[in-house]
């Protein structure tokens, strides 16, 4: 799915971000600021990573249909975030990645984070949520053959994705609070986040177990019927 139209701009981003901007930021971050200001640097790198991923999407043979299906999946994820306690976002993102490809999975995860935060509150964490959910979707696409074949593997991936999501978001919490990384604070953040972590992991496994198969059938059907 081509997101950035101009190929020149895409190429520039693809070269500049990993080889120039990120190393420069990392070096400047460690050299110029003797005290640890990881937060801004990690935020900048998260934004750059999002840019890099969007620049990487350049499969030409897509079109309006595929784009609209992505929008449908994003809307479903968005609506799902209103369910109390159980969050189907990661599960739906993984399903999208599995059946529509990693790029669609990445987009659905990242866009859901931006959109739903209009209701749940935007903040500096939006970039991290976008990256975390986007990666979950992207790997859902990369691991697609395995995930489709083996059900236990699928549920395991859901479980790990839920745990990893919570763990990465806690790294961000600690960086934000204490401007340097402290393992003690991180552990206490992990402990206070246990209910959330459990809810993420449980809802991922539950929704993947319930939805993966019927959803897959529906998406496959649409793909065959309309040749998306």
Binding-site ranges for other proteins (CB under 8 A): 1-5, 32, 35, 37, 39-40, 43, 54, 63-65, 67-72, 74-76, 78-79, 107, 111, 114-115, 117-118, 121-124, 176-179, 182, 184-185, 188, 210, 214-215, 218-219, 222, 226, 228
Q: How far is the CB of 39 from other proteins (least distance, A)?
A: 5
Q: Least Å distance between CB 157 and other proteins?
A: 22
Pair 25, 41: CB distance under 8 Å: yes
Closest approach, Cβ 215 to other proteins, in A, equals 7
Rounded to whole angstroms, the Cα distance separating 85 from 87 reads 6
**CA angle in degrees (0–180, nearest 5) for 52-53-58:** 105
Determine contact, residues 89/81, Cβ cutoff 8 Å: yes
At closest approach, how far in Å is the CB of 185 from other proteins? 6
Q: Are 102 and 140 in contact (CB under 8 A)?
A: yes
Nearest alpha carbon to residue 107 among 3, 211, 223: 3
Q: How far apart are CA 153 and CA 164, in angstroms?
A: 16
**Of residues 76 and 160, the one with the C-beta less far from other proteins:** 76
CB 136 within 8 A of CB 104: no
Least gap, CB of 124 to other proteins (angstroms):
7
Q: Specify the length of the chain in residues.
A: 228
Pick the closer one to other proteins by CB: 155 or 222.
222
Residue 160 Cβ vs other proteins, minimum distance, rounded to whole Å = 26
When the beta carbons of 100 and 164 are compared against other proteins, the nearer one is 100
Judged by CB, which is closer to other proteins: 163, or 176?
176
CA-derived radius of gyration, the chain: 18
Measured distance between the N- and C-terminal CA atoms of the chain, rounded to whole angstroms: 12
For residues 156 and 186, which CB has a smaller minimum distance to other proteins in the complex? 186
Measured from the CB atom, is 20 or 79 closer to other proteins? 79
How many Cα atoms within 13 Å fall on the side-chain side of residue 151? 9
């Amino acid at each position: 799915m081509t997101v950035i139209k101009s190929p020149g701009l895409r190429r520039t981003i693809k070269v500049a971000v990993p080889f120039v901007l990120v190393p420069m930021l990392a070096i400047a971050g460690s050299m110029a600021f003797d005290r640890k200001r990881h937060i801004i640097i990690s935020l900048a790198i998260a934004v750059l990573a999002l840019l890099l991923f969007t620049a990487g999407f350049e499969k030409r043979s897509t079109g309006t249909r595929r784009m609209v299906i992505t929008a449908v999946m994003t809307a479903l994820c968005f609506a799902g975030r209103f369910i109390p306690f159980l969050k189907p976002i990661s599960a739906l993102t993984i399903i999208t990645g599995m059946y529509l490809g990693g790029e669609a999975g990445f987009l659905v995860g990242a866009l859901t984070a931006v959109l739903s935060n209009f209701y749940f509150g935007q903040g500096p964490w939006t970039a991290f949520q976008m990256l975390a959910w986007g990666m979950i979707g992207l790997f859902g696409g990369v691991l697609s053959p395995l995930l489709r074949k083996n059900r236990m593997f699928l549920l395991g991936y859901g479980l790990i994705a839920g745990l990893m999501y919570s763990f990465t978001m806690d790294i961000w919490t600690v960086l934000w609070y204490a401007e340097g990384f402290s393992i003690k604070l991180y552990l206490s953040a992990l402990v206070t986040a246990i209910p959330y972590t459990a809810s993420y992991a449980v809802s991922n496994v539950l929704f993947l177990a319930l939805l993966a198969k019927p959803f897959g059938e529906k998406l496959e059907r649409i793909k065959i019927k309309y040749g998306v």
